[in-house]
């Protein structure tokens, strides 16, 4: 499993699974990409990042799920979610799963709009 994060929108860092504990513990990223062949490991890392960002007893409504097919059908959804604020919590996580290669520009635009109240979590196998 490999974790990539984008702390300053232009900087890309690779964190391999052996350094994941320290990365999660000191989470400072606004955008994280988690991918690898081990989908169980990817899902586990997703949950660890969400719990670290939102807290151990987070409200599930604070996590917005978008999959790649949905993004194809509604390309503005990602930016809409990044720009909208949660009614129930100070922070939220937008989890984008299996985005197609064609979504690169949409993701770049979303990253440019992020503030401290949103974690963009991208996952892929």
**Average pLDDT of the segment spanning 119-125:** 85
Summarised one tens digit per residue, pLDDT across range 18-29 is 888 888 888 877
Beta-sheet strands, E only, within the chain: 2-5, 13-16, 31-35, 63-67, 92-97, 118-124
List C-alpha distances in Å: 26 to 21, 52, 57: 9, 9, 19
Of the chain, the end-to-end C-alpha distance in Å amounts to 9
- The pLDDT tens digits for 44-100 are 889 999 999 999 888 888 999 999 889 888 989 999 999 988 777 889 999 999 887
pTM given for the model: 0.85
Mean pLDDT, rounded, for 4-30: 72
Question: Which of 47, 48, 10 minimizes the C-alpha distance to 26?
Answer: 48
**Per-residue model confidence (pLDDT) at position 103:** 82
Q: Which two tokens stand for residue 80?
A: 């809409």
Q: How far is CA 20 from the centre of its chain?
A: 15
């Amino acid at each position: 499993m490999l974790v990539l994060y984008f702390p300053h929108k232009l900087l890309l860092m690779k964190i391999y699974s052996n350094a994941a504990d320290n990365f999660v513990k000191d989470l400072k990223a606004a955008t994280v990409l988690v991918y690898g062949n081990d989908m169980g490991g990817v899902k586990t890392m997703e949950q660890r990042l969400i719990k670290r960002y939102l807290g151990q007893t987070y409200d599930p409504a604070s996590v917005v799920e978008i999959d790649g097919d949905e993004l194809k059908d509604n390309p503005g959804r990602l930016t809409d979610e990044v720009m909208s604020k949660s009614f129930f919590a100070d922070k939220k996580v937008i989890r984008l799963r299996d985005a197609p290669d064609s979504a690169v520009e949409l993701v770049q635009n979303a990253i440019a709009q992020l503030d401290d109240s949103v974690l963009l979590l991208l996952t892929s196998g």
